[in-house]
Amino acid sequence: MIDGATFKVEKGGDRLDAALLRRFPSSTRALCREACAAGDVLVNGRPAIKGLKLRGGETVLVKSLAEAGDNCVRPDPSVSVDCIFSDDSLLAFNKPAGLPVQPLTRHETGTLANGVAARWPETVRLGDRPLMAGAVHRIDADTSGLVLFARTAAAFDALRAQFSAQTVRKTYLALVEGAVAVGGTLENDLVHDQSVPYCRMVDVRRARVADPGTPLHAVTQFKPISRTMCGNEERTLLEVTIFTGVTHQIRAQLSLAGMHIVNDRLYGAFAVEGMMGHALHALAANFVHPVSSVPVEIRTPYPEWAKVN
């Protein structure tokens, strides 16, 4: 952390955030912008915006500026974690619906990664994303279930390589509205729907998207395993296996196929009063252990909404 540093701008032409990064290369552009937004950078005694064009000769006071090494997950022991597997290289957790996997900024607490960092501090510096704290993958905040963390750099690299190669078999449970008689395989090319102010995935061939970018191919298998009634509404419990790791893959593909996950209002389901999250649960993962190279399966318990007859 850089505190109370002062320097003189020798020549003009730079934006303030660029000048800060040049002066303090141990920081990052994002952290320089964050410091400006927080009022922690004064130019000639006054708070200045990140894009201020410097003329030369100004005096810059940096009251506080984080360095790249400071951009990490803060331990938060108040977050309860349900550890279902632990050895010297690997941790597995059963995450409840409503709990984010990771913070979005270094100041945020109250996520699974914050809770893990408080109990396994060796995870904090692991991985290629500083706010993941060793998590090798993510699931949506409103999705419950399995999340894997590494405890060593070697384990992180080995596990991430398996996820990148799409050799990790991930199994989910999804409770959907209506009756589903047979299973099948879904394939879609998904892109972000930029017409909404939050993340939602759509099929590039079915939706008009002004600037879709590169579509992401998603492959999902599903099969019905039980049915239940909720009032006058029939519901079907599906076992879902994914072979790719596209954002919102299961939620988007099931919705596109007319199978709306219960309480997933973003993708067209009816709201369920009092229900936390939506009825999607990361049940299990099959992969190769990062140290022993032995095939491993880690499973979580069924959530309450999946315990149907």
Residues belonging to the active site? 140
* The one-letter amino acid at 253: Q
Give dist(CA 243, CA 239) in Å, integer: 14
Place of tokens 């800060």: 20
Q: Is 77 helix (H, G, I), strand (E, B) or coil?
A: coil
* Helix, strand, coil percent content, the chain, rounded in steps of 5: 20, 30, 50
Give 52-64 as a DSSP string. Answer: PBP-SS-EEEEEE
Give the pair of three-digit tokens for residue 65. Answer: 């500026």
Give the pair of three-digit tokens for residue 149. Answer: 């963390």
**From the CA atom positions of the chain, what is the Rg in Å?**
23
Give dist(CA 239, CA 172) in Å, integer: 6
Q: What are phi and psi of 81, to 5 degrees?
A: -125, 140
Q: Are 41 and 64 in contact (CB under 8 A)?
A: no
Give dist(CA 27, CA 35) in Å, integer: 11
